[in-house]
Chains A and B, each alone.
Chain A
Amino acid sequence: MSGPSTYQPQNSVIAWIERRLPIFGLIHSSFVAYPTPRNLNYWWTFGGILSFMLAVQIVTGVILAMHYTPEATMAFNSVEGIVRDVNYGWLLRNLHASGASMFFIAVYIHMFRGLYYGSYKEPREILWILGVIIYLLMMATGFMGYVLPWGQMSFWGATVITNLFSAIPYFGESIVTLLWGGFSVGNPTLNRFFSLHYLLPFVIAGVVVLHVWALHVAGQNNPAGVEPKTEKDTVPFTPYATIKDAFGMSCFIIFYAWFVFYMPNYLGDADNYIPANPGVTPAHIVPEWYYLPFYAMLRSIPNKLGGVVVMFGAIIILAFLPWLDSARTRSSKYRPLAKQFFWIFVAVCILLGWLGGKPPEGIYVIAGRILTFCYFAYFIIVLPLLSRIEKPRPVPNSIADDVLAKTGSSKTPMVSTVIMLAVAGALFAGSAGNARAEEHQDNPPSQKWSFAGPFGKYDRGALQRGYKVYREVCSTCHSMNLMSFRNLADPGGPGFSAAQASAVASEYKVKDGPNDAGDMFDRPGRLADRFPAPFANEQAARAANGGALPPDLSLIAKARSYERGFPKFIFDFFTQFQEQGPNYIYALLHGYVDPPKDFKLPEGSYYNAFFPGHAIKMPKPLSDDQVTYDDGSPQKLDQYAKDVATFLMWTAEPHMEDRKRLGFQVMIFMIIFAGLMYFAKKKVWADAH
């Protein structure tokens, strides 16, 4: 480790340990006395943020593993069991799922920081390569983790990505069979992904130790790209960097908390709320957002093996960066051309990411090919060329000079940054606008929901009426497998008393047994029983419904969604709009209209304006006066649709009120805490030299 080891323990117990295992001295020299460049900006806090997120993912992951069952017929329900029944399970699940996205946001910022400031250059090449290894391990871990809930996207994403290996000539098919443990993605695959998903984060932790070690050998880079020369250039890591990292971390936690408590499904895919079905492929198979740029590159190459090579090449090429960019000047702050190409590269990555989520048709394919070329051109053409021809601006003599000087160099980066981002944004908006116009004419109109927004609550009356509609109409064909009778009495729900819920339960006949004679028998339902399904199995359900399977309704309000397009999806993040599911349900129930003249309606189907494909097997289920309301509410289709959609939102997310309540408390606390941290940081830094 670099840095002076001036650690003299006062405490005799610590001195006793220190003599036998100098761990306190190690911590002291690495994280307390360690000389840190004093001109680091907040882009340097992301290393600490990443360590924090790794710890969060490991802790929440180990806890989730206490309740999760990695078996194909039980995995999906075990995850729902965590969310519905485990104490704070909904919170732990949200922390882990959103945490993965936060982990990747932080790692991308961390990597772009390294790119911009030349942190990969001599003598930090191994540090950079260790980082690439960590990134690869993160991608593997994230991929396997997403398979574990065993939803539609879990299963089909696993199928597509494992099938990539079949592109390998000669051995490909055998390798894929080895990975699967079977002839397709199935239970063996799930089991081994669970084992490896539990293992890899600890491998990541080990490589992180090497990464920090390599960092401490060379010392941190800094925005000027000039190595520390004297003591005036550095400050001790504690308290200066420690408190700055802590402040950065608390701001990041606010951002994280927004996802956890207010937009938990924003970065996810609604299709993953549908249990995996090997017989039905989703309309659009899309990986999680952090893989999208690579997915776009994969699909840009018309050759199967070529696509795989290009996709993996796009990551591997990062490892060669120290040799591709041999410019002497480290920081792009002093490299006017390199700086502009950097921002173009950032725009290319963002656009590739956006393209990865689009269907591979028409202009998207052409754009993908151009941008894939641009991505590689940055590494293979631009950087080597710039190393040779660029005339950099003079770097400061020392870090201390850089801090003391008040040059206007801070202005120009902002200007070129803004230009590049504006170009990227315009490209984005322009292509988004055209492509989306046709897609959004079919979007359901937005309704007002009592549970929308940061303080939204379920309307108890609506829940009770909606339950009545479900029970009297929908439950004839639609199961509700994830709900139990006891849920009717849970707080945040329809507000039945335990006795009322017990009475409801006893009205049902539930199969139990076998008795001592070996026979199954019927008995009245109890609180602990689940809502019984109308059909014994899928085949019976299909036979009774003209071949179509009425979907289970427990999660339907989260399993159905639609794109809102640009720029709505940006505003939605701030307004917390996440009511696509209920809007869709409401619209569907109203959507039984006459088909347009040229529409070919298949035999046995009905036209619905909002059902994808417009031909639905379910006849219009609800009409005025079908269900009697005892509370005087209007017995109109409009009211039924509103109430049953509210009820179905509750069955999909029984803990929504808990989520929003705790979210408010956490946000208030974190905002106050971040404020305290800010002033504490300012006070500590006022002392620097």
Chain B
Amino acid sequence: MTTASSADHPTRRDFLFVATGAAAAVGGALSLWPLIAQMNPDASTVAAGAPIEVDLTPIAEGQDIKVFWRGRPIYISHRTKKQIEEAQNVNVASLPDPQPDSARVKEGHDQWLVVVGICTHLGCIPIAHEGNYDGFFCPCHGSQYDSSGRIRQGPAPANLTVPPYAFLSDTKIKIG
């Protein structure tokens, strides 16, 4: 309900209304933030998702184990010489998701493959030591991964994810 005189230049009244409206908008936005932020992982979930250490000594050549980190299965594969050669000798350019094997393993430890065991198509868990490429086979829709966890055939668009990990010693890795 402004009067006609305010038409020419902003009056004190307009400033008051604008200031009040702006304060209400700012206050409203600030009070919305905790309502959204509370959905982020809480402190105990974050703590439970801390990095884990895995001892590699029990894993023989040609074997693999599955560990869970942050609720996801992670394959740790002790690759055979044959698997390593096959992984390294592929023409990288011909791959659906081009990536050299060296980018997917740690230097000096290329017998160890650590990948997240979740198919990049729609999230099923591929089976190890299956398929035509001596790697992984996903039973849901037929995606096939090689011994470096790279997609070769099937509907999956990307290679199996390599999680963050590091070698604490030759026989121990820390994932996360």
Contacts and interface: CB of A to CB of B under 8 A. Distances in A.
B44 A528 contact: yes
Contacts of B24: 673
Nearest to B52: A526
A59 B32 CA distance: 11
A676 B19 contact: yes
Nearest to B39: A66
Nearest to A89: B38
Given A672-B23, A680-B17, A85 B1 contact: no
Given A66-B39, A239-B1, A672-B23, A85 B44 contact: yes
Given A59-B35, A87-B42, A677 B47 contact: no
B38 A88 contact: yes
A670 B24 CA distance: 10
Interface string A51-92: 000000001000100110000000000000100111111011
B103 interface: no
B23 A676 contact: yes
A484 interface: yes
Nearest to A95: B34
Question: Interface on chain A toward B: helix, strand, loop, or mixed SS?
Answer: helix
Q: Looking at B1, B17, B40, which has the most chain A CB atoms within 10 Å of its CB?
A: B1
A91 B13 CA distance: 36
Contacts of B35: 59, 63, 92
Contact of B37 (A88, A672, A687): A88
A86 B1 contact: no
B48 interface: yes
B43 A676 contact: no
Interface string A506-550: 000000000000000000001110000000000000000000000
A680 B16 contact: yes
Nearest to B32: A59
A91 B16 contact: no
Interface residues of A, number: 31
A92 B33 CA distance: 12
Nearest to B3: A687
A435 interface: no
A486 B42 CA distance: 13
A597 interface: no
Interface in A590-646: none
B20 A680 contact: yes
A63 to B, nearest CB: 6
A669 interface: yes
Given A528-B48, A680-B20, A684-B1, A87 B40 contact: yes
A85 B43 contact: yes
A87 B38 contact: yes
A527 B1 contact: no
A676 B34 contact: no
Q: Looking at B20, B35, B39, which has the most chain A CB atoms within 10 Å of its CB?
A: B20
A679 B38 CA distance: 35
A687 B50 CA distance: 62
A683 interface: yes
B27 interface: yes
A85 B46 CA distance: 10
A676 B24 CA distance: 10
A40 B22 CA distance: 28
A92 B38 CA distance: 9
Given A669-B27, A687-B1, A676 B20 contact: yes
B43 A84 contact: yes
A88 B34 contact: yes
A88 B16 CA distance: 32
A430 to B, nearest CB: 44
Nearest to B22: A676
A91 B1 contact: no
A528 B38 contact: no
Contacts of A670: 27
B171 to A, nearest CB: 18
B34 A81 contact: no
Interface string B3-41: 100000000010011011001100100000011011110
Contacts of B50: 526-528
Contacts of A81: 42, 44
B3 to A, nearest CB: 8
Interface string A470-493: 000000000000001010001000
B39 A486 contact: no
A275 B37 CA distance: 28
A486 B43 contact: yes
B83 to A, nearest CB: 26
A527 B47 CA distance: 7
A506 to B, nearest CB: 13
A676 B16 contact: yes
Nearest to B12: A683
Contacts of A680: 16-17, 20
Nearest to B48: A528
A528 B35 CA distance: 26
B16 A683 contact: yes
Contacts of B23: 669, 672-673, 676
A663 to B, nearest CB: 13
A158 to B, nearest CB: 28
A484 B47 contact: yes
Interface string B96-130: 00000000000000000000000000000000000
A349 to B, nearest CB: 34
B1 A92 contact: no
Nearest to B21: A680
Contacts of A687: 1, 3
Nearest to A82: B42
Contacts of A672: 23
Contacts of B42: 67, 81, 85-87, 89
Contacts of B1: 239, 684, 687
A618 B4 CA distance: 80
11 contacts: A66-B38, A81-B44, A92-B34, A484-B44, A528-B48, A528-B50, A673-B24, A673-B27, A676-B16, A679-B20, A684-B1
Interface of A: 59, 63, 66-67, 81, 84-89, 91-92, 239, 484, 486, 490, 526-528, 669-670, 672-673, 676-677, 679-680, 683-684, 687
Given A66-B39, A86-B42, 10 more contacts: A63-B38, A85-B44, A85-B45, A92-B38, A527-B47, A527-B50, A528-B44, A669-B27, A676-B19, A680-B16
Interface of B: 1, 3, 13, 16-17, 19-20, 23-24, 27, 34-35, 37-40, 42-45, 47-48, 50
